[in-house]
Amino acid sequence: DQQVKQNSPSLSVQEGRISILNCDYTNSMFDYFLWYKKYPAEGPTFLISISSIKDKNEDGRFTVFLNKSAKHLSLHIVPSQPGDSAVYFCAASAGYGNKLVFGAGTILRVKS
């Protein structure tokens, strides 16, 4: 039973444009959400997070939006750069510091 779903296996975007990665969850107990970025043959790297008391968190080119009523979050990358090409994992936990439940990941390709 997938509690965190990333329904787009891949996304291709032109350099300089916006990348939007989506994530849906089913467990209403989740209250902390993270995005991780992963390059081949490396471990996931923390990118940005958001707690359920917020609906937006911004860090440079990266913004995460949370819609609790829809159980949906998204990661916006503006402007997209070729170095952003990686697999992006959405993760959620029921309580800050508890186990993370990951989505299947979305492969982002930024074309120059």
Partner 1 sequence: DTAVSQTPKYLVTQMGNDKSIKCEQNLGHDTMYWYKQDSKKFLKIMFSYNNKELIINETVPNRFSPKSPDKAHLNLHINSLELGDSAVYFCASSRVEETQYFGPGTRLLVL
CB 71 within 8 A of CB 28: yes
Cis before 79 (ω within 30): yes
Q: Which neighbouring-strand residues pair with 4?
A: 25
**Is 28 buried (19+), middle (13-18) or exposed (0-12) by CB count in 10 A?**
exposed
Query: CB 43 → partner 1: shortest distance, Å?
Result: 4
Question: Which lies closer to partner 1 via its Cβ, residue 57 or residue 79?
Answer: 57
Of 1 and 69, which has the nearer Cβ to partner 1? 1
Residue 97 binding partner 1, by CB under 8 A: yes
Of 10, 45, 51, 81, the one binding partner 1 by CB under 8 A? 45
Query: Using the rule CB under 8 A, is 11 a contact of partner 1?
Result: no
69 near partner 1, judged by CB under 8 A:
no
| Residue among 45, 23, 41, 19 at smallest CA distance from 33 | 23
Site of interaction with partner 1 (CB under 8 A)? 34, 36, 41-46, 49, 87, 89, 91, 96-97, 99-102, 104-105
